[in-house]
Amino acid sequence: MSFSALPLSYCTNVHPGRTLGEIIDGLDRFTVPVAARLGSPLAAGLWLAAPVIKELQAAPDGGARFAEALRERGLSCHTLNAFPFGDFHSPRVKENVYVPSWAEQSRLDYTLGAARTLAELLPADEEGSISTLPLGYPGIHSAPDFLERCVDNLLATARELDRIQSKNGRTIRLGLEPEPCCWLDTTPSAIAFFTDRLWPAARKQNCLDAVRTHIGLCFDVCHQAVAFEDVGRSIVALDEAGIRLNKIHITCAIELRDPATNQAARAALAQYAEPRYLHQTKARTLDGRVLTQFDLEPTFALEPPAEFLMAPIWRTHFHVPVDAERLGPLATTRAELRAALAAVRGLPYAPHLEVETYTWDVMPGSAPRDLVDGLTGELSATRTLLAELSK
């Protein structure tokens, strides 16, 4: 199977989007100039937060007018990011990005609002995808009936997406996005959730076909690389389990090699500790165990526990430019990105592809790289990589 023939997209959660006006401003300041630099069609992978969805739904013909605004700028949209519910650019996001969870009605309502909006943005005869959180975060979502409530809301989502498809012919697929330290974090945990919980519940409620059609995964390469998965084998395993990958986040993580002797790399990693986002850090020991630090802190990088110090390799959930092989003394997981995309190439369908580096303005350095330059470099390098893998 070839890669998706749709224009490559980048996720607009990289720039603020608390209102529709901010989103339009971001498209004009960043997305349109990037498309001009690339000289070929570009899709906007829109992050539409809950307040923006409400704003669009409250305005007469809000979705139709927004679709026209995209067309006027030469942009298309086939995928939304509905993971961050609120302000993804507040001073402190951290674990708040997982609120509300999939056990809550507000998450269901927001996601369905996003789906109805996407149905208005999609060109005719085109499928859409929406990425969302991996159910929730065990540190704050631990009620005994948590997973049961998540399943109920996902079944309701599948039924409504099925109605949207019947009404206007737009097929929209949801992608739960596993992330380190969440309820869905590894490929085995995702497979177990679908096969042991979601599908049996759907079978009981006579909506299994709708669930299989509309509920799958968003595979974020950075996340699964941080978990030290063989990302190529993970993609094959998910396909063999019958779980559809509706979206691929083209992302890279930070990799630190030989921490015991590479003090310069540990000092460099410490600079990536920052107060806005969670940066889960994992290490693989010589005997194959995976250790977890729930968030990167400078003291952890500079003076790590002995067990971490003896592990030969660390990986940190910090989305770094996907065209970077190295960041000074630090490496990246670009090799895993290549392996993941090679496996995606072998799927019997073509998931949506989206570059998602949202951390440009929190990367260390006194002079941040120009965002248009950075996004153009990432997208250009990704197109080159996809062309190489297509040969």
Contact by Cβ (8 Å): 340, 273: no
In this prediction, residue 120 has a pLDDT band, given cuts at 50, 70 and 90, of very high
Angle at CA 296, nearest 5°, toward 366 and 188? 130
- Give pLDDT tens digits for 149-192: 999 999 999 999 999 999 989 999 999 999 999 999 999 999 99
Smallest CA-to-CA distance from 67 within 15, 116, 16, 11 is with 116
Mean pLDDT score, 307-322: 97
Q: What percentage of the chain has pLDDT greater than the value 90?
A: 96
> What superfamily in CATH does domain 9-251+332-389 come from?
Divalent-metal-dependent TIM barrel enzymes (3.20.20.150)
In this prediction, residue 123 has a pLDDT band, given cuts at 50, 70 and 90, of confident
Coil, strand, or helix at residue 364? coil
Main-chain phi, psi angles of 130, to 5 degrees: -135, 125
Is 254 exposed, middle or buried (CB count within 10 Å of its CB: 0-12, 13-18, 19+)? buried
- Give pLDDT tens digits for 362-390: 999 865 679 999 999 999 999 999 999 99
Please report the pLDDT score of residue 227 as a whole number.
98
- CA atoms of 164 and 167, how far apart (whole Å): 5
Q: Is the pLDDT of residue 275 over 80?
A: yes
